[in-house]
Amino acid sequence: MTFLITAGPTREPIDPVRYISNRSSGKMGYAIAEAALDAGHDVILISGPVNLTPPRSTNFISVSNSDEMFDAVHQHADSSDISVLCAAVADHKPAQVSPVKIKKRAGEFSLELVPTRDILQSLGWRQDRKFLLVGFAAETDHLEANAWQKLRKKNCDIIVANDVRVGMESDENELLILFRDGETKRISRAPKNFLARELVKIFLNSQQKSLTKKM
């Protein structure tokens, strides 16, 4: 099987020296890539800027901003059997990128932001999609309700939800997994590499089930 995995944050440029980003470490996505490789699968890892070494023998694609990640995912998704969008893509980017460094000015100033394209949603609603599509939901409140809403809105097969206060920048996480057919599964707090191995098994199992249904 081939896994496409996105990981890490994106950086949305403001000018040549500044950007908007978030605290995603990329650890969960890299752990899933590692677990899939260990289980004998092929991995295309599309990563934003992180302080991690890509696992050996991945097809590794390094990107910086959300537009680059969008293009890389769309270019490679059809080569995958399972696409796992773990990256913390910025929801907004500056409306204009200044080609020169913005100088300090006296008093307040505001930055106009526009929405980025939602990569998961754009794949979810593709009519010809053949691969299993997994999204992540990082929440601080109403975890389960928000995660169900994301699954329906983005039309994916599985949402892996976590409370950001537990998982962000940490080596451990606690997961709630929601399936399109209404099933749910919980995995209690554990190291991210243990969770990654469990997730790979769960994704393969779902992919197998959806193949059998289509036959």
Residues near ligand CTP (CB under 6 A) are 66, 85, 87, 89, 91, 116, 118-120, 135-138, 150
Q: What sign has the CA pseudo-torsion 83, 86, 87, 91?
A: positive
Of the pair 69, 204, the CB lying nearest ligand CTP is at 69
Q: Count the residues in the chain.
A: 215
State the nearest-atom distance from the C-beta of 149 to ligand CTP, in Å. 9
- The identity of residue 41, as a single letter, is H
State the nearest-atom distance from the C-beta of 215 to ligand CTP, in Å. 28
Q: Which residue is nearest to ligand CTP (CB)?
A: 119
Give the separation between CA 162 and CA 30, rounded to whole angstroms.
17
Residue 138, SS3?
strand
Of the pair 120, 178, the CB lying nearest ligand CTP is at 120
* C-alpha gyration radius of the chain: 18
CB 157 within 8 A of CB 206: yes
State the nearest-atom distance from the C-beta of 147 to ligand CTP, in Å. 9
Of the pair 17, 79, the CB lying nearest ligand CTP is at 79
Instruction: Using alpha carbons, select from 119, 125, 164 the residue that is nearest to residue 146.
Output: 164
Q: Is 22 in the active site?
A: yes
Of the pair 137, 175, the CB lying nearest ligand CTP is at 137
State the nearest-atom distance from the C-beta of 119 to ligand CTP, in Å. 3
Active site residues: 22
